[in-house]
Structures are given as structure tokens and as C-alpha cells.
């Protein structure tokens, strides 16, 4: 049965910048971005269309800094308009 579409909602105030959510995303659609505050990074969804709404990023984040939301249009607009201005950090390859 299809589920309602969901998108992650990043809560920067709670984020520790560990990038575990980026590693957990099987679609590779999250990337860490530098923010205007030196040394502070947050995950951001650069390609909203690639996100399946699976919720792995939310489950992975032990800091409660990602919450899945059904308000997908609000989330889509926020990811497009509030993106940290600095370039994304390339994904770590272990
Ligand atoms: S949202 Fe959570 S898992 Fe992702 S970088 Fe921030 S603290 Fe880490
Ligand atoms: S909901 Fe799933 S596909 Fe979307 S960013 Fe999170 S882990 Fe990736």
C-alpha cells in the first residue's frame, strides 16, 4: 500500500555535524554544507526529487536533528530557498 509522501526536515539547532545521516542515505541525496558559522556544518537535501522519504536519515540521527514531515511543499521550498550558501562538503569515502 503506498504511503503518504514525506520529506526530512533538518533542525540545525540540534545538529552535531556528524554526517551519519549522509552515510545512511542510500540515495546519496544528502550532503553536509558549511554554514555561515565557522566550523558548523548541517546536512541538506540538494536533490529533493531523489529522496524517497524512507526515513533512514531520521532514524539514524540520535540527536533528533531530522524529523520526517508530511508538509512536503514547505520542506521542498525550504530546501530550495534556505540552503546554506557555502558549497557542499564532498562525501567521505572510507
Ligand atoms: S542531522 Fe543528525 S545525523 Fe545528520 S549530521 Fe546532524 S546530528 Fe549528525
Ligand atoms: S528520507 Fe531516505 S532518501 Fe530521503 S534523505 Fe532521508 S535517507 Fe535519504
Q: Domain residue spans in the chain?
A: 7-81
C-alpha 36 to ligand 2 mean position (Å):
25
> What kind and span of H or E run contains 68?
strand 66-69
Nearest CA to ligand 2 atom 2: 54
Question: In the prediction, which pLDDT does 89 show?
Answer: 66
C-alpha 45 to ligand 2 mean position (Å):
9
Question: In the prediction, which pLDDT does 38 show?
Answer: 86
Which DSSP symbol is given to 88?
B
Point out the residues of the chain with pLDDT beneath 50. Answer: 1-2
CATH code reported for the domain at 7-81: 3.30.70.20
Question: In the prediction, which pLDDT does 86 show?
Answer: 62
Amino acid at each position: 500500500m503506498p504511503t503518504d509522501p514525506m520529506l526530512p526536515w533538518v533542525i540545525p539547532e540540534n545538529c552535531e555535524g556528524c554526517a551519519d545521516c549522509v552515510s545512511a542515505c542510500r540515495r546519496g541525496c544528502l550532503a553536509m554544507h558549511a554554514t555561515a558559522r565557522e566550523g558548523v556544518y548541517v546536512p541538506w537535501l540538494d536533490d529533493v526529487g531523489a529522496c524517497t522519504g524512507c526515513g533512514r536519515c531520521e532514524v539514524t540521527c540520535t540527536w533528533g536533528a531530522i524529523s520526517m514531515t508530511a508538509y512536503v511543499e514547505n520542506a521542498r521550498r525550504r530546501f530550495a530557498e534556505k540552503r546554506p550558501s557555502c558549497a557542499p562538503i564532498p562525501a567521505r569515502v572510507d
